[in-house]
Amino acid sequence: MTDPVLTSRKLTVAAIQFEPRIGDRAFNLAAIDRMVRRAVSEGADLVVLPELADTGYVFQNTTELSTLAEAVPGGPSAAFLSSLSRDLVVHIVCGLAERDGDIFYNSAILTGPEGYLGKYRKLHLWNEENRYFAPGNLGLPVFDVGIGKVGIAICYDGWFPEVFRQLALNGAELICVPTNWVPMPGSESHTDTMSNILTKAAAHSNGVHIVCADRIGTERGQPFIGRSLIVGPEGWPLVGPASADREEILLAQIDLSSAPRSRALNSFNHLLGDRRTDVYR
């Protein structure tokens, strides 16, 4: 299996790391506005924000979630992000709490200069999320944003190699990951985080760029680990990981045409073409 020779398709991507406040949409959207504008002023063409960035993460109960979740598109945060994308001529991927009738999803929205472009609903729910959210039911869509093809995953989705593999098979060259990483068992004695190890492995084994935007801080007793990063299709970080506890913007220029090319490891081996689909179940 070989990929066609592709011309350069460069863009600058940003991972925004900050601390949302639970239940304070006005504060969170103001922080998003400030940091997205700064990222764009520094050259960003596409910006990734954390999981549930507009609401916070640790809900007390479904009643609290119901007061914060919104329709996507159509809700206030979705409208704000769409307007911001149009004003700044930038693509944004941001985690949102979505309401669809009486059902709630841990979702991410994609907006661009044209406004709303699409959404993804988290497939794999972590811990207490199972009390409040339904598992995603939109599959693993890939969005053509003009310069290339973008997929989305959210946090715990990254523990499942099938997510990145299917997105790559669906044509994704860049995967955006809004996330709220928490400490994993046994991580205390290690300098690297399991989340970053899995991200680097997924980027390498699928030949894709991955942008992970994590949050920081402690919310209702739950600490978050930061360590946002941007990884190239050969599996090595292009920038990051970020700190564990500081607001940061990571920026990297990437060439989307290098993703398909990186899958050809030599004259004989191709990361997607060598798959033994006659054996896998």
User: Catalytic residues, which ones?
Assistant: 51, 122, 155
Which stretches within 129-176 are classed as H helix? 129-132, 161-169
What is the distance between the alpha carbons of residues 123 and 179, in angstroms, rounded to a whole number? Answer: 13
Structure token pair of residue 267: 């004259």
Residue that has been written with the tokens 């994704």 in this structure: 172
What is the distance between the alpha carbons of residues 80 and 235, in angstroms, rounded to a whole number? Answer: 34
Q: Give Cα 80 to chain centroid, integer Å.
A: 19
Q: Of 32, 28, 49, whose CA–CA distance to 87 is shortest?
A: 32
DSSP 81: H
Structure token pair of residue 244: 């564990």
